[in-house]
A and B are shown apart, each in its own frame.
Chain A
C-alpha cells in the first residue's frame, strides 16, 4: 500500500505520516501542494491519496479534480484532511468525487475510521 500525503505544512505531513505508520501503512511519500503531487501520482503507483485543501500553487480540490479527470488515476481513493469546514465546500468535494472528508483538528481514531471505511468500500 503506497500512500501520498499532500499538505503545505511539513508538521501536518509528519503527523499524518506517523498516524498512518501506527495504522500499519509504512510506505508513504510527501508532496507540499497539488503541483508537485500530480506528477508524482502520474509516475508512481500510488494506492491512496491523502490531501489538504488549502495550499499554495494547486489546491487539494483542484488536485482531486485533476485526479478524477486522469484516465489512469480516476479510481484512486482520495481522502481530504482539511480545515475547510463550509458545507458548500464539503458538498463541492463530494461532487468532485472525494472518498472521505476529515476536518482538522482531527483525532487518530477519526482518521483510522475514515481510512477503514474507504478501503472497505473499495475492496467490497
Chain B
C-alpha cells in the first residue's frame, strides 16, 4: 500500500477500514503472518500521519513565536518580546491611573478644608449680618464686623482662586485616560492576534490528538472555573448575565431574600 506524505483523514479512515477488513480475513484464514504485516502497515499509517501533524504543529508554534517575538534570545536582547512589551504597557497603565487617582485625591484633600472653612465663616458672618439688618449691633460690634467682613472677603478671594486652580489641576489629572486608552487598545489588538494564533495551534493539536487517540479531561478546568472563592473581579457584561447582580439594589434584594 502506497502512503503519500500528505494523507488526509478521509484517507486515514479509508486505510483503517480497508486494513480492518483485510486483518479480519487474514485472521479467519489463519494467515497470521499476513495479519501481523497488516498491523505493521496500520502502525505505519498512523505514525506517518502523526509525524506529519506534529510537524505542522511545530511549524505553527514556530511561526507564532516568530510573529510575537516571544523568543527573547533571538531578538537582540534590548527590545524584549511583544508579550513582555504588552506587560510593560499594562504596568504603565496601572502606574498612570494610580498616579492620577492619588494626584486627584491629594488635591481634593487640599480643597475640602478650604471649602469647609469658607462655609463656616460665611455662616457665622451671615448670622452677624442678620443682627446688623435687625439693628441689633452696637458700635463696638459693628467695628468688629466691619473688620471681619473685610478679612473674609480677602480670604474668600484667595481661597476661591486656589479652589479654582485645584479644580483645573484635577481636570488635567484626567489626561491619563487618553494615554492609557491608546496603550490598552494596542494591547487589545495583540491579545486578539495571539488568540487567533492559539486557536490555529489548537486546531492543529487536535489533529495530533486524532492520530494518537488522546482524549483530554476538561472537567477539572471547568471545576476550577466554578470555584467562586477566588474572585473574578469586575463584571463587564453584568446586564447580560443572569448569575450576576446589576447593582447595589440587586445585592440588597438578594440579601433581604436571604433574611438580611
Contacts and interface: CB of A to CB of B under 8 A. Distances in A.
Given A15-B105, A90-B245, A84 B98 contact: no
Given A59-B231, A91-B258, A101-B251, 18 more contacts: A10-B102, A11-B105, A15-B105, A54-B232, A55-B231, A59-B230, A62-B229, A84-B231, A86-B228, A86-B244, A88-B228, A89-B228, A90-B245, A91-B254, A94-B255, A103-B245, A103-B247, A103-B248
Q: Give the size category of B's interface with A.
A: 20 to 34
Interface string B67-105: 000000000000000000000000000000010011001
A78 interface: no
A91 to B, nearest CB: 7
B226 to A, nearest CB: 9
Interface string B243-260: 111011001001100101
Contact of A94 (B231, B244, B248, B258): B258
A61 B255 contact: no
12 contacts: A11-B102, A59-B231, A85-B238, A85-B251, A86-B243, A87-B244, A94-B258, A94-B260, A101-B255, A102-B248, A103-B248, A106-B248
Interface in B219-242: 228-235, 238
A18 B36 CA distance: 81
Contacts, number: 77
Contacts of A9: 98
Interface of A: 9-11, 14-15, 18, 53-55, 59-62, 82-92, 94, 101-104, 106, 110
B178 interface: no
A86 B241 CA distance: 9
Contact of A92 (B109, B228, B251): B228
Contacts of B245: 85-87, 90, 103
A89 B102 CA distance: 30
Given A18-B109, A88-B243, A90-B254, A54 B233 contact: yes
Contact of A59 (B101, B109, B229): B229
Given A85-B235, A91-B254, A110 B248 contact: yes
B229 A61 contact: yes
